[in-house]
Structure 1
Amino acid sequence: MKKGLKLILIALTLFAAFSCEEDKVTEGISSITYYPVITLKGEQWNQVPVGGTFTDPGVTAKEGDKEIEVKANGTVDTKTPGVYVIEYTAVNKDGYSSIEYRYVGVISAAATADISGSYKRNAGVFGVSKVAKVAGNLYTADNVGGVAVPSPGETVYFYYFDKGKIGCPYQLTSGNAFECTTASIKEGVSYSWVVINPLFGTALRTFVKQ
């Protein structure tokens, strides 16, 4: 009986010791974590002419009901045609972060063509991409890689920002993320880019206007 009592006391002592260690490990960590939610003020996709002005409308971030700090990274050179990205980051008290993006196309006066239309890839499965104007020099392409049957997650935004030049920055799509590099366009003829995504190869993809 005494031996059994000793074993019970030893077990209770060990349990208490483990409980204390667990408390030390989890000390200072919230039992409920509210991930940061970043809300953009103004438009996500913006454009200005070369020589124009752009003022960042800013963002807000909340952790639950509490407003928290946001750090912005990125600048816009309105003297130089191109596509510029501003990245916003917010971190909650447990170290979890959220990221949001704002895009600014600085548009050259030479980018005057309407490049919308259907374009067929000249290799692979010869998939067709429909390029549609959103506003000004901001467009979408609904088949970024020229696959046979694109999904909604393969529609990307891009800017036609100068003669012969297009820019498709890193962006989150429906359940995916894309960026296109080495991008160019022959107005009325074709456009080309390399798709940056784990499911796509590194080949330059060319789409010819139909």
Structure 2
Amino acid sequence: MLALMCFASVFLASCEKDEDTADVSFVTTYPTIELTGEQWDAIMVGESYTDPGVEAFEGETPIEYTTTGSVDPNTPGAYVITYTATNSDGFSTSVRRYVGVITPEAAAIDLSGQYQRNAGALGVSTVIRLEPGLYQTNNIGGIGAPGPATTVNFFHPTVNNLVVPPQNVLGNEFAAVDATVIPGTSYSWSVVNPGYGTVLRTFVKL
């Protein structure tokens, strides 16, 4: 009888605890980040550069953010600046800014046009010039049916070199390494993405 009473007491205590927490839910307001200025930018080597920063919010309330990365305006290349904001519940979000430092020789070259991969699906890449030294292709891997999911931006910092920095494309991360170009003839790179192999892909200008 004593054991039964003890069991009943434990059961009732458990029920009371469940009833106390049954209707409790957790709601958080995720942080948001708004870039000031352009996300992609290109400057000439030797020019000064000032990071325009961002604005970070939790709902409508401004919050602090951290910045990693910087730009060396005297060294040609591509630079990534990452801004991170964390809300009061510890949830974080990040946004990236891309800055290319371009030599005058590279800026004078226009790489825009159509290029065809010389292997695989023989897909065609359409390259457009966004500004001197900054380009976009709709077909990073040279697949047969390119589109928004295969569209990336890249820099042309020096005459024979390209840089395709890590970037989010419709929720999928893309980048490329070993990227080179022979202006007016071809360009090559290896795609960094789980859906692509590590083979060097060459695109010949049509």
Question: What's the counterpart of residue 182 of structure 1?
Answer: 178
Q: Is the 8 A contact 2:42 2:131 kept in 1?
A: no
Question: What's the counterpart of residue 120 of structure 1?
Answer: 116
Code of the aligned partner of 2:64? E
Residues of 2 paired with 1:105 and 1:7: CA distance? 71
Q: Return the offset for 1:19.
A: 6.7
State the Cα deviation string for residues 171-197 of structure 1 (Å, max 9, x = none): 111232211111110000100111111
Residue of 63, 77, 90 corresponding to 1:82: 77
Q: Return the offset for 1:104.
A: 0.6
Question: What's the counterpart of residue 34 of structure 1?
Answer: 29
State the Cα deviation string for residues 120-144 of structure 1 (Å, max 9, x = none): 0111111110001112221101000
Residue of 40, 47, 55 corresponding to 1:45: 40
Question: What's the counterpart of residue 12 of structure 1?
Answer: 12
Secondary structure of the residue that 1:153 maps to in structure 2? helix
- Structure 2 unmatched runs, 5+: none
Secondary structure of the residue that 1:110 maps to in structure 2? helix
Q: Return the offset for 1:44.
A: 0.8
State the Cα deviation string for residues 21-50 of structure 1 (Å, max 9, x = none): x79xx9xxx821111100000111111111
Question: What's the counterpart of residue 144 of structure 1?
Answer: 140
Superposition TM-score, scaled by structure 1 size: 0.89
Q: Return the offset for 1:9.
A: 4.1
Code of the aligned partner of 1:69? E
Residues of 2 paired with 1:203 and 1:75: CA distance? 31
Matches within 5 A, 1:35-114: 35-111=30-106, 112-114=108-110
Q: Percent identity?
A: 45
Q: Return the offset for 1:6.
A: 7.2
**Residues 74 and 6 of structure 1: is their aligned pair in 2 closer, same or farther, counting only changes over 3 Å?**
closer
- Structure 1 unmatched runs, 5+: none
